[in-house]
Structure 1
Amino acid sequence: MIRPLMTYSTLGLGFVACLAVAGPACTDDGSAEAGNTETAGDGDGDGYPGDGDGDPGDGDGDPDFGDCGNGVVDDGEVCDDGNNVTEYPPFAAGDCIDDCSMVLATCNDGTVDPGEDCDDGNDDSKDACTTSCTTNSMGVHAACTVFEDGMEVDPLFNISEGDIQNCDNVEPVAGTAVGCNRSWQYIGNNLVYAAGGDCQIIALECEGDLCPPGPIGDYPNVSACPEGHVLIDKVIEGGGGVPEIRSKVCLLACESDRDCRWNEADVFWDGPGEYRCKTTPLSGGARVCNDGRNNEL
């Protein structure tokens, strides 16, 4: 029972995202390119590499932000801090979300400011208004928790077990189940990051002597996700007594960080969550909401 917990936690279920940081970036086709060179799959012609790199060029997988990021508040923008990056707290007064739709420092102050859908001034994303000043959808990627016998419980190997709360609008496809992934440190110092909990559509199976009883859903027969979601098919190969774990998860498709609870605090890890709208090597070029801290898993 110990080894499956260790192996499953490497799923996270966080998937590696290509981030525009020091070192090679990633192109649209997931291959690496170094320096400010253009290679097949980028195609934006702006001289900088990578999909999801925050520049406003066409064809590189970034949202069409127009003039967002030029430092000037143009028509249709709430703010413009001169980049297409959503900063992490503490926020400076002028910090702006990646698509120039919201001032970071004013969200969650209790006042509905331009660009905010709501602002109740509290740190609870499970109520009607998330900490990112968007309406709580109670669907995939909404904050969630799990109760048993009226008490909140720690994450389990099977994240579909227990009384899952705040995932009311998650509609699993045939062969999947509703799951609530949460931040946790599994046995063996394997770390999972899911700030505030993360509602998911999931199927999972395990093969090996050390597998826990029962799969989640029917992994082999899951072939598609509901509209607005991206199917992520991940296999962690076993061997040497380690079981093989296969999972399919429907992650939320997104256009900008604004769709991804960017302002969610991670109480378990005592810091900010890092949900961002990025492509991952398994997302087929689509942008999905994913916690970037899972990149090292």
Structure 2
Amino acid sequence: MPLVSLREVLKKAEEGSYAVGAFNCNNMEIVQAIVEAAEAEKAPVIIQASQGALKYAGLNYIVSLVRAAAESTRVPVVLHLDHGTDREQVLKALRAGFTSVMLDGSKFPLEENIAITRQVVEIARPMGVSVEGELGRIMGTEDHIQVSSYEATFTDPEEAQRFVRETGVDALAVAVGTAHGVYKGEPRLDFERLKKIRERTQIPLVLHGSSGVPDEALRQAISLGVRKVNIDTDIRIAFLKKVREELSSRPEEIDPRKILGPAREAAREVIRHKMRVFGCAGKA
């Protein structure tokens, strides 16, 4: 089926009080793993590409891969730009056919973040494309975007209310204790803050840096209004662990398909588990 907008899948997630998984892709095998998992679980899915993925695979390759995957399935598929950092990058994604974009203006002062995010909303909305904004900085590294623990700031509920009102975004990424990359200890989410943000904004919330967060914590966050959960690191870990195992067990193998095929299956199983935790399984 054709690609759908983020707004479309999040509307149903709101009605059903579940979250839709947003899984980062970098190559063909991971795109296939994401869609195979969605089909197996009968779940709507968001396939997203970061700046690193677009630089590695190329904008047109990513779009073509995801479109081909969407056309081969009956589950709703969203193609989302993850962490777009400026207007020009977002415009490139819009022209290429992304059905959802994120403008990450979290590094800017509130007034500037509101202004640039509102500009993107005004461009994207007439095109039927959804927009995700971010308020508060999420610690860790996402490709070349780095935020130290010193720089990381949690989202302020009052600022979130103003941000949503003045930008008109479809979803809001919040900083409540998650981090990009691999955790050194167990993350502790600020559920009280999350509850206040939801009460003041009444908008689908997005949890970045969700790899490594315990399942029960994710379920609680979803019960408090999180409707999009981003997963990248857990997929990479499963994929590369299997690649290493296959290379170790068959050092003379020269067929990459016999190495990458099992890795794709390992990634698919991780994604299926996440979909069940998020509550989106069976909702396509």
TM-score, normalisation: structure 1: 0.29
Identify the structure with bigger relative contact order (alpha carbons < 8 Å, sequence gap 6+): 2
Structure with greater proportional strand content: 1
Higher alpha-carbon Rg: 1
Structure with higher helix content: 2
TM-score normalized by the length of structure 2 = 0.29
